[in-house]
Structure 1
Amino acid sequence: MQEVAGASGRRRLDSLTGARFLAAGLVFFCHLATSGFFVPGSAPATGLMTATKTAGTVGVSFFFVLSGFVLTWSVRPADTYGGVLRRRLVKIFPNHLLTYALAMVVYASAFTPLGTALLNLLLLQAWSSDPMVFLSVNGASWSLSCELLFYVLFPLLLPLLRRIPARRLWWWAGGVAAAVMLMPLVAALLPAGQTLPRTGSWLDGVSIERLWLVYIFPPVRLLEFALGILMARIVQSGRWIALRPAWTGLLVVAAYVLGLYTPMLFTVAAVTVVPLALFVASLAQADSADAGTPLATPLMRRLGEASFAFYLIHGIVLEYAGELLVREHRAPSTGQGVVVSLLTLAVSLALALAIHQWFETPLVRWFGRPRPRPVVPAEAGSSLGR
């Protein structure tokens, strides 16, 4: 998740900032469906579980495509590898460390082995195919393990993708999207191995190894990040087609509905990656043309700016609320489940806004400042802008 702001004279992408909150909200409702706030097997529990099958996966995929797009959009001509990496690490690690510590205090320290806790702390958990590792401590942070790889490779990947002639960008974007769509077939070549237990969720009977490869494994998710880079280049080079956000948004909705009926390995990203890539690019194009969208309002922009904190804190709030219900041995009624759900949403949002305002923003400003460096001859320097 990135700070969506223009650089080098480019406009701010306020619509993409607002869209970040929608994506984080989808992840929230996905996790709400498995929170146990509604009686298992009841109509509300079943309906919520059915409706949110695509929610978490489309939210995460949006963020991965967005990461590649925004980093490419905001890169500065004089940027160095160290400068880009420092700004990205400062963006994710303070909030990660804060929510990691909170999760350990609230619940995770009681059952998290030291080695697993260390992997999570260093954002290396997604490299393990063991769900007790990649979903450890603060479960949502597994995606930051992927983002960390993206940030390390971006200064090396961007110059390579910049060599692609503008007339061929759509072909390359199509090829990368096709690779994402084919990954479930690649995963099917793996032995099924252990499957997830039947609990009434969308993951019933899904192979853990295959799900990990398609959904969690950082090098595979790098494809969506690379697609975001290519889509940014398409918009920057003036090769964008006349697709408005309203139409690409409808494509995302259609893909979301389709994902409710496809096998889970295809729901993860295969059925949504193309609409999401088009949606991200269309919002950026609209902002560049000063054609405002409902996602660019001050309220949506404010919520979008706090979406990273919201993404990391909401699972802890849901887990704590769930523990309170279990501790009291209560099976909440439908009305109580709705009230608890709304309370967790409100508390998560309030905490996210506070974290963003008084913790994240000051640290990013302080540690993200450019550091003075020795002056070197022009021919000896190197930058991402070349």
Structure 2
Amino acid sequence: MTEIRALTSLRFLAAFYVFVFHLHIRWPLAKDSPLAANFLSQGAVGMTLFFMLSGYILAHRYDGERLDWRSYFGNRFARIYPVYVAAALVTLPSMSLTPLTAQDWSLPAASWMALILADATAIQAWFPPMFKYWNNGASWSISAEAFFYAMFPILTPIIAKACTRDKIRWLVAAYLLSFLPAAMYILFDPMGPSATYYSVPIYRFPEFVAGMAAFHLGRSVRIRTAILEVGLVAASAFWVWYLALYGPRFPLYVSHNWINVPVIGLALLTLTRSDSFLARILSVRPAVWAGKISYCFYSFQVLILFSAVDYRDAIIARFPLLKDDVWWTLSLFLPLMAISAAGYYLIEEPFRVKVRGWLNRERKLGVDMSAASSPR
């Protein structure tokens, strides 16, 4: 598979938007600018970009290729699980911030066991009451991705082989389902548990499917790159204006998917084009490098946030300049980048290379045994 460098960079932009959002909801970064503050307060929509990008990239990766299940799941495991476990372990001491007590659960010991088991098997996002505990507030999306990865081999041949009209139907259906649950929540249960609609994988699955359908539809329908670029710039400007003006008026981030999904889909299609000026901008080496470490950046940000919550007063007492929220953000961003780079080079990439080598040896061994057992 040829890497789409601009989409690798786009992944970091999404991770950075989510990071700034997590800071902003704790320490407002735009006190003097209500519109900027509103836009930052909607940073959780970056998750929609993550999920659509995931579906799009996987569809690109396995386009026209017979999917080998062992290789596929081995690569998916190597892609997410080692860093996922590392992020869980380094945030384990922070479980004391939200202790499991009898007030929250009937059996504290059983609750600890259930929480650890759910996280170990990446099924925690299916249980909204777990959202506020331990690393779940950050790792729920990995739980959702695990479900998407499991569904991909089933869906990809169906969407890939569909005619253009059916691909459009898949995309329209995924688009509608991406925000209809949130609309029903707003209309009928606005005071209910929003985490159900925000984090349960089945409610976020349409975003992943929309990414898959967008890729395959883009292969079937040719549109001039210049038209895509003009459309993307105009749509992005409207999207920023909408979030800045109306974003906080809706109680659920996925309620914005009526505009998020089309804009993100347009961005994916545009940045895939090698002759796109916007794609060339995002394909510069530093941006691509940041995109490569973006999974670690997303996964380890909770460690930085927990530490900031615990030690902010002590740090500011020693360094008064950091009382300014912009400097405070920079002071957290730089160490997070360093940790993310270390995680990428010491955990993510070595495990991926090791698993890929193991899978290649297994495949070669299988071919050799098949050849040896065939009649001569």
TM-score (norm 2): 0.82
Counterparts in 2 of 1:150-161, with a 5 A limit? Answer: 150-161=148-159
**Could you say if the C-alpha distance between residues 329 and 20 of structure 1 is closer, same or farther in structure 2, counting changes exceeding 3 Å?**
closer
- Summarize deviations over 1:295-341 as a string: whole Å, max 9, x none: 11101000000100000111210220220025689797874433222
**Could you say if the C-alpha distance between residues 363 and 318 of structure 1 is closer, same or farther in structure 2, counting changes exceeding 3 Å?**
same
Show the counterpart of 1:146. Answer: 144
Deviation at 1:215, TM superposition (A): 1.6
Deviation at 1:117, TM superposition (A): 3.1
Counterparts in 2 of 1:103-182, with a 5 A limit? Answer: 103-105=91-93, 107-109=94-96, 111=99, 113-114=111-112, 115-130=114-129, 133-138=130-135, 139-182=137-180
Show the counterpart of 2:351. Answer: 363
CA RMSD of aligned residues (A): 2.9
For the pair 1:237 / 2:236, whether they are aligned, the reply is no
Q: Which amino acid aligns with 2:228?
A: R
d(CA) in 1 for partners of 2:278, 2:18: 28
Partner SS state of residue 345, structure 1: helix
Deviation at 1:367, TM superposition (A): 1.1
For the pair 1:251 / 2:215, whether they are aligned, the reply is no
Partner SS state of residue 257, structure 2: coil
**Could you say if the C-alpha distance between residues 367 and 226 of structure 1 is closer, same or farther in structure 2, counting changes exceeding 3 Å?**
same
Q: Which amino acid aligns with 1:301?
A: V
**Could you say if the C-alpha distance between residues 28 and 328 of structure 1 is closer, same or farther in structure 2, counting changes exceeding 3 Å?**
closer
Judging by fraction of residues, say which structure has more helix. 2
Show the counterpart of 1:228. Answer: 211
- The correspondence for 1:21, drawn from 5, 8, 12, is 12
Could you say which structure has the larger radius of gyration? 2
Show the counterpart of 2:105. Answer: none
Counterparts in 2 of 1:54-93, with a 5 A limit? Answer: 54-57=42-45, 59-75=46-62, 77-93=65-81
State whether residues 215 and 268 of structure 1, in contact with CA within 8 Å, keep that contact through their aligned partners in structure 2: no
Partner SS state of residue 21, structure 1: helix
For the pair 1:345 / 2:328, whether they are aligned, the reply is no
For the pair 1:30 / 2:21, whether they are aligned, the reply is yes
- Summarize deviations over 1:109-144 as a string: whole Å, max 9, x none: 5625512233223221111122xx124322211111
State whether residues 231 and 277 of structure 1, in contact with CA within 8 Å, keep that contact through their aligned partners in structure 2: yes
Q: Which moved more, 1:75-84 or 1:43-52?
A: 43-52
d(CA) in 1 for partners of 2:143, 2:308: 26
**Could you say if the C-alpha distance between residues 96 and 250 of structure 1 is closer, same or farther in structure 2, counting changes exceeding 3 Å?**
farther
Unaligned residue ranges in structure 1 (runs of 5+): 1-6, 196-206, 378-386
TM-score (norm 1): 0.80
**Could you say if the C-alpha distance between residues 246 and 87 of structure 1 is closer, same or farther in structure 2, counting changes exceeding 3 Å?**
farther
Counterparts in 2 of 1:208-287, with a 5 A limit? Answer: 208=193, 211-240=194-223, 242=225, 243-245=227-229, 247-260=231-244, 261-262=246-247, 263-265=250-252, 267-284=255-272, 286-287=273-274
Deviation at 1:248, TM superposition (A): 1.3
For the pair 1:186 / 2:184, whether they are aligned, the reply is yes
d(CA) in 1 for partners of 2:118, 2:299: 17
Deviation at 1:227, TM superposition (A): 0.8
**Could you say if the C-alpha distance between residues 362 and 342 of structure 1 is closer, same or farther in structure 2, counting changes exceeding 3 Å?**
same
State whether residues 309 and 355 of structure 1, in contact with CA within 8 Å, keep that contact through their aligned partners in structure 2: yes
State how many pairs are aligned.
345
d(CA) in 1 for partners of 2:265, 2:75: 24
d(CA) in 2 for partners of 1:245, 1:136: 42
- Summarize deviations over 1:180-204 as a string: whole Å, max 9, x none: 2322223346545xx4xxxxxxxxx
